[in-house]
Amino acid sequence: MHVLGYDWPRLHAALNDLPAALLFLTVLFDFGAWVTTRGSLRTAALWTLWAGVIGGWAAVVAGLQAEDAIDHGEAVHELMETHETLALITMGVFTAALVYKLFRRANLSPGEEMALRGLSLAGFVGIIWTASIGGRMAFEHAAGVPTAALEAEIRDRAKNQPQPGAEAADSGHHHEDRDADHAH
């Protein structure tokens, strides 16, 4: 299935960075509001929390759909399950914080604010951990890259590798030229 011209894996990749950044800003704004007692930072924290939660759940839905749409082996599958669990927990944490703030109409006691701040900090750790697992899937296991494309890339890379013994016969100019091209 394609949504807005994206398949599910690409839509997940397109959606996951902004909510993570917004939720990170939520935590920063909240701590800034606590330290400075500025109402504008408290308001910014609530708005970024709203946007981060909505966007985060959109990224989760796209990720759940992408799970069955990508080629992967057992190692990626295990990472994917961990990534999914962490994403659901993290979004649950931030959603709970948002719902509680809305329920209390942001009229929180100092104890409630401190508890929610701790919850947001736990959510922030969840974002980092979830992103780390997602990065491992993408960069160490090429999750989301179709097998045929990955095989073609491996063949292409192999063609450009120096052959054993070729270094001695070659004065090195070819590799220097290639390295200079890659520097641009």
Helix axis angle, 39-67 to 74-103, nearest 10°: 150
What pairs with residue 7 in β-bridges? 2
Confidence of residue 183 (pLDDT cuts 50, 70, 90): low
Rounded-to-integer distance, Cα 93 and Cα 101, Å: 12
Percent of the chain at pLDDT above 70?
85
Percent of the chain at pLDDT above 90?
52
**Neighbour-count burial of 133, counting CB atoms closer than 10 A to its CB (0-12 exposed, 13-18 middle, 19+ buried):** buried
Confidence of residue 151 (pLDDT cuts 50, 70, 90): confident
* Helix locations, 16-146, DSSP H: 17-36, 39-67, 74-103, 110-141
Q: What is the pLDDT of residue 61?
A: 93
Rounded to the nearest integer, the mean pLDDT of the chain is 85
Average pLDDT over residues 112-140: 93
Is residue 170 scored above 60 in pLDDT?
no
List, for residues 55-101, the tens digit of each pLDDT value: 999 999 999 988 888 777 788 889 899 999 999 999 999 999 999 99
What pairs with residue 2 in β-bridges? 7
Q: What is the DSSP letter of 2?
A: E
Q: Which residues of 164-181 are buried (b: 16+ CB within 10 A; e: fewer)?
A: eeeeeeeeeeeeeeeeee
The candidate with the shortest Cα–Cα distance to 67, out of 59, 77, 75, is 77
What pTM was estimated for this model as a whole?
Answer: 0.77
Rounded-to-integer distance, Cα 70 and Cα 137, Å: 12
Q: What is the pLDDT of residue 142?
A: 82
Instruction: Take residue 102 and report the two structure tokens written for it.
Output: 């809305």
- pLDDT top residue among 32 and 168: 32
- The radius of gyration of the chain's CA atoms, rounded to the nearest angstrom, is 23
